[in-house]
Amino acid sequence: MDNLGAPAREPVDVVNQHTGERWYYSDIVKEHFFNPRNLLLDDPKDGEFNASGIVGSPACGDVMRIWMKIDPDTERVKDLKWRTFGCGSAIAATSMFSVMVTEDGGRTLEEARAIKPQQIMERLGGLPNRKIHCSVLVDKAFDKAANDYFRGVGKYEKIIVEGAKVVDAATQTTDKDIEEAVLEGAADLDAVQRKLKVGIGNPEVIPEVEQLIRFYREKYYG
């Protein structure tokens, strides 16, 4: 009871102004926020990692980037570093995911892809409902990095494509891959092909690829 005789309230860190949901972040969440594991503040050196993935946009909120070192013989994740511009939940979720993927000698890419956002939340002791997307963000960034690795070693059959149009079935390159390549500075077909290998063994798709490059250049750069 407080001084006025009303029941004392549990301390909360977050109150949703729209739903009234009250949330107290677990000690595990706070630990991973204040002491994030595997955080990389500076860009890695060339050759330090053999896979990377990025999702999100600075214009609309959280951005997540992941770098990985994959053992080519076992496809185990031997190292994973990350950087995000996001909230405390996004930082904690990514930190925990990096631990889950690399602990006990590292999970294979297939095993790591099987990790669900709910499992990350369980290891953290829970997150507010409106922060569930933070654990989804790292999941999507990891999928992008895994696809980047498989594309780099020519294992196109292992690339997983969701919610995008496949432009080149041979390399499983999508319109979203081309969009992101343009956003990362690829200004012409040669630059896009260096990144994605799109159309190299399937030249009939090149006109569509060039059209997409023009479209995204005009969309983002005028």
The β-bridge partners of 67 are 52, 81
What is the rounded CA–CA span in Å between residue 36 and residue 107?
20
The β-bridge partners of 23 are 14
What is the rounded CA–CA span in Å between residue 189 and residue 155?
22
Catalytic residue numbers, as ranges: 60, 134
What is the rounded CA–CA span in Å between residue 213 and residue 183?
10
The 10 Å Cβ neighbour count of residue 139 is 20
